[in-house]
Amino acid sequence: MKNSLIVAKIKNGTVIDHIPAGKALKVLKILGISGEEGYRVAIVMNVESKKIGKKDIVKIENKYLSKQELDLIALVAPVATINVIKDYNVVEKYKVTLPSTIKGLIKCPNPTCISRKHNEVAVSEFIVKNVNPVILECMYCKTRVYGEEIEKYLEA
């Protein structure tokens, strides 16, 4: 495996494979991993993939995430696969699937949406109208966010 030349296998943790080339940092952002948490994280970008041409891979050592948390990365990496690693073995493997609603995480593009109003407790919430390409609809004002646009509205 060419990839193993770049980054060694991890003993325990999570490997996210088949991320579209260049999206690895977005994936980490969605997972809320900034690097300051102290996990050892390997990011491999723009490597060859049989399935999708070029891809990114993220390996997070000693960190397990819930399926709900991981499914959100489908927003930018719709065909990503999750490998849960324990003692160098893949103990679980699955493809991410976008949930039917997404709470928080994405800022509504409409500046007069109540979810954007200063000082209110409204948390943005979107219905997933379509999965591929992704189309989200704000549950407050019905403004839609389409495909690639979503990245622009990811909350820091």
Positions in the binding site for another protein (CB under 8 A): 110, 112-115, 117, 119-122, 137-144
Task: Compute the least distance from the CB of residue 127 to another protein, in Å.
Answer: 12
Residue with Cβ nearer another protein (25 or 141): 141
Going by their DSSP bridges, the two strands 53-61 and 89-95 should be labelled as: unpaired
Task: Compute the least distance from the CB of residue 76 to another protein, in Å.
Answer: 22
Residue with Cβ nearer another protein (90 or 114): 114
Task: Compute the least distance from the CB of residue 141 to another protein, in Å.
Answer: 3
Tell me how far CA of residue 108 lies from CA of 77, 117, 130, 154, in angstroms: 20, 11, 17, 9
Alpha-carbon 37 to chain mean position: 18
Task: Compute the least distance from the CB of residue 152 to another protein, in Å.
Answer: 16
Residue with Cβ nearer another protein (66 or 119): 119
Residue with Cβ nearer another protein (11 or 129): 129
Element spanning 86, H or E: strand 81-86
Residue with Cβ nearer another protein (56 or 125): 125
Q: Give the angle 112-124-71 at the CA atoms, nearest 5°.
A: 145
Going by their DSSP bridges, the two strands 13-20 and 81-86 should be labelled as: antiparallel
Task: Compute the least distance from the CB of residue 72 to another protein, in Å.
Answer: 22
Tell me how far CA of residue 18 lies from CA of 52, 71, 86, 112, 121, in angstroms: 7, 14, 20, 37, 36
